[in-house]
Amino acid sequence: MIKKNLNDATKILESSFRVGNFKDAKNDFLKFLKISDTNFTDKVAILALSVFVSNKDSFYQKNFNIFFEAILKNAEFESEVKFDEEGLKLFESKQGRFDNNLPRSLEDIFKMVDEFYRFVISKELEYIKNIKEKKEFFQKLTNKIEKIKAEKGYIMHIGYGGGLNAMSVFSVLSDNVKREFAKVITKHPGTIPPISRRYLIDEEEKPISPIGWIKVELR
């Protein structure tokens, strides 16, 4: 069952983002998206975070912390992102058209990314809805998201700490499929992964913030 679900998910992704020979990366839609390194050089610090675990029986904080290098809150940096629309048109004229649901401009790409990560955040809010000490800071995050929406910005998660939902398409799978995966990827069969989260902590080791969330503005 698990192998079948993996194969089905792979086929869906390949058929959505590739044309012709799905196994050939040269036929991948994302090759038309070109991203440069950032100009970021400062406002980096060593921060502490902790792992919190929730399952059907308990909620607890693991007895160790993780220290990692991170960009500080409110830091700004730039990166050049290009979408080769002309290259895409030329490719499709010779190799066939990609899925009609795929975006056809840089703005549409970021709208799709923004929609996905808002969905991820909605799942995070569901996860902590009964955990009082976390609900407050995730509610603050929700308020910030609405502000970004009004300012015509886009939400993204980058780097470490987002977990399975933020780093993959796992969050859009059905609960039944997720439970099948749980038999392999967690020690808690029957649960819906991920069951742990990584949060920045304060001096009293209380959770104060998720990590890795940024606002993107196109210029």
Predicted confidence pLDDT, tens digits, the chain (219 residues):
555 555 666 666 677 788 877 778 788 898 999 998 887 666 788 888 888 776 655 667 888 888 888 888 888 888 899 999 999 999 999 888 888 888 999 999 999 999 999 888 888 777 766 565 556 666 776 777 677 666 778 989 988 888 888 888 888 777 777 777 777 766 666 677 777 788 777 777 777 778 888 889 888
pLDDT tens-digit readout, 81-91: 999 999 999 99
- Per the CB < 8 A criterion, the answer to whether 38 and 79 are in contact is yes
Give the integer Cα–Cα distance in Å for 38 and 196: 30
pLDDT tens-digit readout, 91-116: 999 888 888 888 999 999 999 999 99
Report residue 71 CA to chain centroid gap.
17
Residue 212: which residues within 8 A CB-CB, separation 6 or more? 157, 158, 159, 160, 161, 162, 166
